[in-house]
Homo-oligomer: A and B are copies of this chain.
Amino acid sequence: MHAPVFAALGHPARLALVARLSGGEPSSISRLTAGSRMTRQAVTKHLRVLEGAGIVRSKHAGREKLFEYDAAPIAGLRDYLDRVSAQWDRTLARLKSFVEE
């Protein structure tokens, strides 16, 4: 269920894009390309991957395409990782009590 979102975050360039968009206003493609060592097309492809995972939405504004952050998928990831950690804590407790028997 969550694998596509994880995969979308599994690239440093996309992680950097998420960091920028989650900490600022919606931004256009060329603005996101400036300061990156990639081509505009490469940035576009990464943004499409992020949009496919729902992490980012896009809207048109004149000749620009603005991308903005959507917090929901990453919130879902946090919940999932919390559940994994909680399950692991229970596993540890169970193994410990088993050793102590």
Contacts and interface: CB of A to CB of B under 8 A. Distances in A.
A88 B10 contact: no
Number of this chain's copies in the complex: 2
A74 interface: yes
Interface residues on A, range: 20 to 34
Nearest to A12: B3
A11 interface: yes
Interface stretch (A28-36, A56-64, A77-85): A77-85
A80 B7 CA distance: 16
Contact of A9 (B3, B87, B88): B3
Contact of A6 (B9, B78, B90): B9
Contact of A75 (B71, B85, B87): B85
